Amino acid sequence: MKRVGHARRVVVCLIMVLSFGLSVSTAYGKDKLIFGVHPFKSAKELNKMFTPLIKYLEKETGVKIQFRSSRSYDAAIQAILDGDVDISYLGPAGYAILSDEHPTKVRPIAVVVNKGKPTFKGVIVTKDDSRLTSLKQLKGKKVAFGDRKSTLSCYMPAYMIMKAGVFDSISYNFLGTHDNVAKAVQAGYFDAGGLKPGVANKYIGKGLKVLAVSQEVHEHVIVAGYKLNPVIYKKIRKAMLNVKDPKVYKSIKKSLTGFASVKSRDYNNLRKVIKAVDAKIPTGYASK
């Protein structure tokens, strides 16, 4: 009888060990992880862009990962706070705000490297036949911004205009996407607009020119939600810092050259910009 009891205890222990091993591979026992992306393109486009990275991470971690696009920038942040996504691709401003207000809810995994650098710059554009040559000349003009929470189509251009001392004199609207901003300025509805270089380059020489360039800020970042198991977090981080196949990151953006280690403090300069702009434009304010 003692031997039978001992055998039962061994079986129970084995079941517990196996169960623990399975739970380690997911976030709090889920059978798959959710990879969230903020909506800077259509859900269909984003799914195609991020599929190579997701497949790579599945292979390296042994865990099933499902893609999910958020309805808005705010929804992308809320999904992390609610624990609805385990991994997320966030814009610089989104991460800077989230990690500043809820440091225990998010952990940086890696930053994207663009043309060999983990930083990028924004631009303010105007029509190529415009007489504007400096930001000070935007006094009393109309300016187009993209999404209110966007780094390069709102925060950086607004801050640049503030530093030029003419922000209080301008009128502005939020048009949602970078392409909307470019087209609106191109059509003459606005005197200037904030853009990321990738979009601006499509219109330079086709109706637009660069009026000013922003300071460098850290790039988009891959983050982990607070429910992601630490073991899986380490596997994902190691995998991302050691990508060998360029297709994994170039499917996201052709100019990307990999991923790099990143710390929360790398976004401190951007946090200063965000606080300055938020003091001028309440986050719920749509236009002026």
> What are the DSSP calls for 112-136, one per residue?
EEETTBSEE--EEEEETT----SGG
Residue 36 lies in a domain: yes
pLDDT surpasses 90 at 276: yes
pLDDT digits (tens, 9 = 90+) for 205-242: 999 999 999 999 999 999 999 999 999 999 999 999 99
Same domain assignment for residues 29 and 163:
no
Q: How high is the pLDDT of residue 1?
A: 43
Residue 37 near residue 86, CB atoms below 8 Å = no
128 is a domain residue: yes
d(CA 78, CA 91): 14
Boundaries of domain holding 164: 122-215
CB 208 within 8 A of CB 155: no
The answer, yes or no, to whether residue 18 has pLDDT greater than 60, is no
| pLDDT of the residue at 12 | 45
3-state SS assignment for residue 287:
strand
State whether 51 and 129 are in the same domain.
Answer: no
Could you tell me where the DSSP H helices lie in 145-229? 156-163, 178-186, 197-203
Q: Let me know if residue 146 belongs to a domain.
A: yes
Mean pLDDT of 134-163: 97
Asked if residues 76 and 82 have their Cβ atoms less than 8 Å apart, the reply is no
Q: What is the mean pLDDT of residues 17-26?
A: 46
230 lies in the same domain as 170: no
Which residues 6+ apart lie within 8 Å of 188 measured at CB?
Answer: 127
Ramachandran bin of 117, using left for φ above 0, alpha for ψ from -120 to 50, beta for the remaining angles: beta
As a whole number of angstroms, the distance between CA 217 and CA 206 comes to 27
**Run of H or E including 106:** strand 106-114
Give dist(CA 85, CA 37) in Å, integer. Answer: 9
Residue 274 belongs to a domain: no
Residues 88, 80 contacting (CB under 8 angstroms):
yes
Phi-psi region of 245 (alpha: psi -120 to 50; beta: other; left: phi over 0): beta
Within a domain: residue 279?
no
Same domain, 241 and 110: yes
Instruction: Assess whether pLDDT exceeds 60 at residue 23.
Output: no
Model confidence at 72, pLDDT cuts 50, 70, 90, reads confident
Domain count for the chain: 2
Name which of 37, 284, 41, 36 is nearest 178 in CA terms. 41
1 vs 179: CA distance, rounded Å: 76
94: which 2 tokens?
Answer: 């989104």
Q: Which two tokens stand for residue 267?
A: 């976004």
**Is the domain of 211 the same as that of 252?**
no
Residues 75, 140, single domain; the answer is: no
What order of strands is seen across the sheet that includes strand 123-127?
171-174, 142-145, 192-195, 123-127, 208-213
Judge if 131 and 209 occupy the same domain.
yes
Whether residues 13 and 156 share a domain: the answer is no
pLDDT tens, residue by residue, 83-137: 999 999 999 999 999 999 999 999 999 999 999 999 999 999 999 999 999 999 9
Residues 172 and 222 in one domain: no
Final residue of a structural domain among 215, 246, 277? 215
Q: Encode pLDDT of 178-201 as tens digits.
A: 999 999 999 999 999 999 999 999
Tokens 């996407």 locate to 177
Other C-beta atoms within 10 Å of 66: how many? Answer: 13
**How far apart are the C-alpha atoms of 36 and 54, rounded to whole Å?**
11
